[in-house]
Amino acid sequence: MARSTMAPLVAAVDGSEGSLRALDWAVDEARLRGRRLRVVHAFTWLTSGVPAEVVQRYDLATMARRIAEEARAHALARAPELDVEAAWPEGDPGDVLLEEAERAALVVVGSRGASRLGAVFLGSVGLQLAALAPCPLVVVPHLEPRPATGRVVAGLDGSAPARAAAEWAFDEAARRRATLHAVAVYGTASHGVFVSLETPPPGPGSPEERAAEEEARRELSESLAGLRARRPEVRAESAVIAGHPAHVLTTRSRTADLVVVGSRGRGGFAGMLLGSVSQTLLTHAACPVAVLHADASEDDRALGGAGG
């Protein structure tokens, strides 16, 4: 789905320290892309678990407006030249953000937030966005900011979403003038999501292990085909690594500015957004993680490539 060149970056906020760190990342990204920023705080009157007499003491709409406008002020203090708008729509956070994603170039959320609202970002809301958002989603960790490393890591496996992730990662590396590290992983997970837990992993040097490594190399080559020529200004490195995808990418995130993955993969990344791999990576990565769908790169090209 091609998006308007006016599509904003959307940052979900809830007033927590974690969401402000995500907002800072979104501000810097909007500045890199030359795009406007839309700061969104979704609220609902269905505050499950909160006693009715407590809810009645507060005007939730007023509180939501204050959170959104304070976040807007925070963004403008960081980048006074940026076009920033604030919104505080009523509704379920997941539904609101999915609707925002329909008109966004990118949605940014924090990995942790305030109790009841922010804490769901990596529960049902975060995984809902990662699986269903029609635009790229970036999850920013709650960790203290650190100096830039000049590295963008892409986890690739030859699937259509991985191809989208590769294209987006090349564009992001170009924007940041960073080195792209493309990684394919093989090992026990490469033999399928539903392998019996009793099935032993292939031993080092075994025919199965060599076949898995060769398949990973082929898939990595498929994901990168033509991209080096399209983005000659990007220094790109590739590696095929034995291990578990979540562990490998989490480890690589410690020396990266951004990790990029497809929404669903095959082989070592199969079911990335369906179970423990996704939750481990999105929860424990030391840098922001971007999740791409198969058509996301097409949208990004419509937005103007590296300048979009």
**Tell me, what's the pLDDT at 200?**
52
Residue 113 tokens read as: 């937030």
Structure tokens at 136: 């790229």
So what's the architecture of 9-140 in CATH? 3-Layer(aba) Sandwich (3.40)
Domain 151-307, architecture per CATH: 3-Layer(aba) Sandwich (3.40)
Measure CA 170 to chain center.
15
Q: Any idea where the domains of the chain sit in the sequence?
A: 9-140, 151-307
CB atoms inside a 10 Å sphere around CB 36: 15
pLDDT digits (tens, 9 = 90+) for 42-78: 988 665 445 555 555 567 888 899 999 999 999 999 9
pLDDT at 208: 81
Say yes or no: do domains 9-140 and 151-307 share a fold.
yes
Say how far apart CA 89 and CA 68 lie, in whole Å. Answer: 10
Residue 109 has pLDDT above 70, yes or no: yes
Cα–Cα distance measured from residue 27 to residue 38, given in angstroms and rounded to the nearest whole number: 10
Q: Among all chains, which residue has been given the structure tokens 């403008």?
A: 76
- 191-248 tens-digit pLDDT: 333 333 344 555 667 788 888 899 889 888 888 889 988 999 999 999 999 988 889 9
Q: Do residues 176 and 152 touch, judged by C-beta distance below 8 A?
A: yes
What is the model's pTM?
0.83
* CA dist list (Å): 49 to 3, 45, 116: 39, 12, 9
Q: How far apart are the first and last CA of the chain?
A: 15
User: Nearest-CA neighbor of 240 among 261, 214, 260?
Assistant: 214
Task: Name the most confidently modeled range: 76-90, 157-171, 221-235.
Answer: 76-90
